Amino acid sequence: VTSPEHIALGPGREFDAIRSLLREWAGVAEHIGDDAALLEVPRGERLVASVDACIENRHFRREWLTPREIGYRAVAAASSDLAAMAARPLGILIALAVPDQWRADLDEIGAGIADACRGTGARILGGNTTAAGELSITTTVLGSAFAVLERSTLRPGDTLYLTGSLGASGAALHALRANTALDPSHRVRFARPQPRIAESQWLARAGAHAAIDVSDGLAVDLAHLAAASGVTIEVHLEDVPVVPAIPAERAVASGEEYELVVGARAPLDTADFAARFGLPLTRIGLVREGDTEVVMLRAGVRVANVGGYDHFTI
Ligand SMILES: [Mg+2]
């Protein structure tokens, strides 16, 4: 049984840092200080767990984001994998590796972590801090679900739907790398992505049965879905919702969008979804029998070499 009270922490520099973080995490962290976290899973549901690392100069550069955004983004990205499974977030475990030159920013990073948890409803249940040569934030997310969405359950005849619009995150990354003017609406999508937690609950209840979150770019993530399910996915580029002024070919290569693609056998009520969440839900393609591949079409003609996002080129 979890208790919101923390265990008293002993002396030392690491524990001083944790005490300071616990002030940022007031009302969000629970029962910190024991050897391990305790977690109640609702009766009849399954535990859903995932871990995600966010590393300086690999996933972001210091000059691109505030420390608060870095903390937020790490936890939001990890939480998106729970959305992709239609799991409700219960808690997180957070491992922080902090170089000396980031030490003064630790509370702000912690504030961003708390922001993300307030957004998803997850509690901070425990973690670890250590000195390191580069900043890294490794988030284990723990959730629960009665009916999960999986990658391997697409079948021929299914319709594919996408939440939101694509392209802003990739455009922001492009501008940051090139050090060119950055549209604030693109920046916010990059710095403060929204894991689609409530949306995925709705989608699962409405009859969606397969899903993936768009982390590597729609084209690449659809290829993962096609491979997992052993099907052909057909998408018409004209149908993919894209943010203004971004070509569809770039939008489908835009990574770290954290929108959801779901497959459903029967039509989903896109108008109800849009009214409820203020976000479009758009039919973007269908599933066919055939080779495990993604076929992208423009004006009925197959488009070759629609690219993906490479995590290792920032
Ligand atoms: Mg994912």
Structure confidence by residue, pLDDT tens digits, 201-234: 999 999 999 999 999 999 999 999 999 999 999 9
How far, in Å, is the centroid of ligand 1 from the Cα of 259? 10
- The single-letter DSSP state of residue 265 is S
How far, in Å, is the centroid of ligand 1 from the Cα of 305? 22
How far, in Å, is the centroid of ligand 1 from the Cα of 49? 12
Query: What residues pair up with 260 in beta bridges, in sequence order?
Result: 213
How far, in Å, is the centroid of ligand 1 from the Cα of 261? 11
How far, in Å, is the centroid of ligand 1 from the Cα of 78? 8
Q: What is the DSSP string of 137-197?
A: EEEEEEEEESS--BSTT--TT-EEEEES-BSHHHHHHHHHHHT----HHHHHHHHS----H
Q: Residues of the chain with pLDDT > 90: what percent?
A: 91
Specify whether the CB–CB gap between 235 and 288 falls below 8 A. no
Residue 84: half-sphere exposure toward Cβ, Cα within 13 Å: 26
How far, in Å, is the centroid of ligand 1 from the Cα of 73? 14
How far, in Å, is the centroid of ligand 1 from the Cα of 221? 8
How far, in Å, is the centroid of ligand 1 from the Cα of 207? 20
Average pLDDT over residues 296-305: 90
Specify whether the CB–CB gap between 224 and 151 falls below 8 A. yes
- The confidence score (pLDDT) of residue 13 equals 87
Specify whether the CB–CB gap between 149 and 210 falls below 8 A. yes
pLDDT at 133 over 50: yes
How far, in Å, is the centroid of ligand 1 from the Cα of 197? 13
How far, in Å, is the centroid of ligand 1 from the Cα of 26? 29
How far, in Å, is the centroid of ligand 1 from the Cα of 44? 24
Query: What residues pair up with 92 in beta bridges, in sequence order?
Result: 124, 141
The three-state secondary structure class of 206 is helix
pLDDT at 37 over 80: yes
- The confidence score (pLDDT) of residue 247 equals 93
Least confident of 114-118, 126-130, 155-159: 126-130
Sheet with 281-288, edge to edge strand ranges: 208-213, 260-264, 159-163, 281-288, 232-236, 293-298, 301-302
How far, in Å, is the centroid of ligand 1 from the Cα of 280? 20
How far, in Å, is the centroid of ligand 1 from the Cα of 204? 16
Cα gap 205→86, rounded to integer Å: 9
- The confidence score (pLDDT) of residue 309 equals 52
Average pLDDT over residues 20-26: 95
Q: Confidence class of residue 14 from pLDDT cuts 50, 70 and 90?
A: confident
